[in-house]
Amino acid sequence: MSRDAIVAKRVDSGSADLTEISDLARAAGYDVVGELTQSREEDGAYMFGEGKVEELAALVVETGADVVIVDNRVGPYQLFNIGSKLPDEVEVIDRFTLILDIFGQRAHTKKAQLQVELAELRYELPRAEAKASLAKRDERPGFMGLGEYDESREQDIKAQIARIKRELDAIAEKEETRREERRESGFDLVALAGYTNAGKSTLMRQLAADLSVDENDELHPDLDPTAESEDRLFTTLGTTTRRADTGTRNVLLTDTVGFISDLPHWLVESFKSTLDSVYRADLVLLVVDASESTEEMREKLVTCHDTLYERNEAPIVTVLNKVDKVDESELAEKKRALSALAPNPVVVSGLTGENVEELTARIEAELPDWQRERLLLPMTDDTMSLVSWVHDHGHVEREEYGEDSVTLEFEARPAVVEKARSKAADLAAVESA
């Protein structure tokens, strides 16, 4: 059953934009029945001015809202003070409580659940520390409405955080091993990154539309043959990986959780295990919604760059998606205005498939160079098995059969070339034995 919510935001100057917080509220299952904004410096007690909080209380009564969602970083005392002005049954939450609520609803895997739990604990820790500090200073349990002081709660949270980090580290080690196994098997790893609702999942369907992955494949037990495509935030909380058809290369494409604006460091860090799919890829496709305003695109590109370039060493290609919603002159102006942040972008429509072929060509061009190799294989009982293996793991340019040998000229990842040489040496050793 949905609950009615009022969304509210304060900005130091200018006008407050409630678009994203409203979308987030709907993604969490709320019906937005009212909005309130204020442009002024922050009030230490209420975040908003006290008069604006009185206005908020009147709006709650008028709309019958169950929840007030404040799109700001609100301190525990400010939340308590705002709530004290509202009817007793009305809940007041801030932006990050809402985001954690959405994450919790979408966490369907063990890793995602652990990451959500870690984020919740990191969010709670400073509040527990504040309770401890105030209780010790004032000797008043429940001071400022923060609840009864539990001396051991702070230590319990820290212990739980340490435990979850150990579990996530163990999962990360297994995933890194799997990534290296895939590379050794000839796969290039490409990650889709970008803001939530930029159309990453829709674009993924275009790039891998005719291919699926065998869920029983021993090498890839975690690959999901479907990727959701819905017009709502945080459809993808975990990761979805599919084989993509780009031409000559064997590509595994991973769709990851979307970024959102104004995420604190502790929240990004809690999802590091999921973001490793981006940080450790061979190529990152940074997907941007081209139908948004130039300023929105610029802000999101800056945030994405701050997140990606800090840890990512792979090439990053900016993909301007949803160009079916933008006319040519507007698109040209946006490309010019954003050229410093998005040099030489690829423009596509994940919905219609426009320019997807250009994107696949760019993927192949930006991936790490393959190594060329020429092998002369003796004709043995196992030779054709090796020829087939090279076809599966690289791109064969010449295959020529003689009376007692096979000549293969191909390109592949260095690890694949090395393994092919080793297998060829084994064939030669068997023949000469």
d(CA 303, CA 193): 12
Q: Is 359 annotated as a binding residue?
A: no
The answer on whether 201 is annotated among ligand-binding residues is: yes
95-106 helix and 110-138 helix, angle to the nearest 10 degrees: 150
Whether 199 has a binding-site annotation, put simply, is yes
To the question of whether residue 401 is assigned a binding role by annotation, the answer is no
- Is 83 annotated as contributing to ligand binding? no
Query: Exposed/middle/buried for 379, CB within 10 Å: 0-12, 13-18, 19+?
Result: middle
The answer to whether 236 is a known ligand-binding residue is yes
The answer to whether 351 is annotated as binding is: yes
From 255, 246, 257, select the one nearest 281 (Cα to Cα).
255
What is the tally of helices (H) and strands (E) in the chain? 14, 13
257 is known to lie in a ligand binding site: yes
Task: Please tell me whether 268 is known to bind a ligand.
Answer: no
Helix axes 294-308, 272-279, angle to 10 degrees: 90
Does 75 count as an annotated binding residue? no
Q: What CA–CA distance (Å, rounded) separates 82 from 398? A: 73
Q: Is 258 assigned a ligand-binding role in the annotation?
A: yes
Ligand-binding annotation for 324, yes or no, is: yes
Consult the annotation and say whether 350 binds a ligand. yes
30-39 vs 3-11, strand pairing mode: parallel
β-strand partners of 344 = none
Looking at 2-152, list the stretches that DSSP marks H as alpha helix, in order from N- to C-terminal side. 19-27, 50-63, 76-84, 95-106, 110-138
Q: Is 365 annotated as a binding residue?
A: no
CB burial of residue 340 (10 Å; 0-12, 13-18, 19+): exposed
145: left (phi over 0), alpha (psi -120 to 50) or beta: left
Binding residue numbers: 194-201, 236, 255-258, 321-324, 349-351
Residues belonging to the binding site for GTP are 194-201, 255-258, 321-324, 349-351
The binding site for Mg(2+) comprises 201, 236
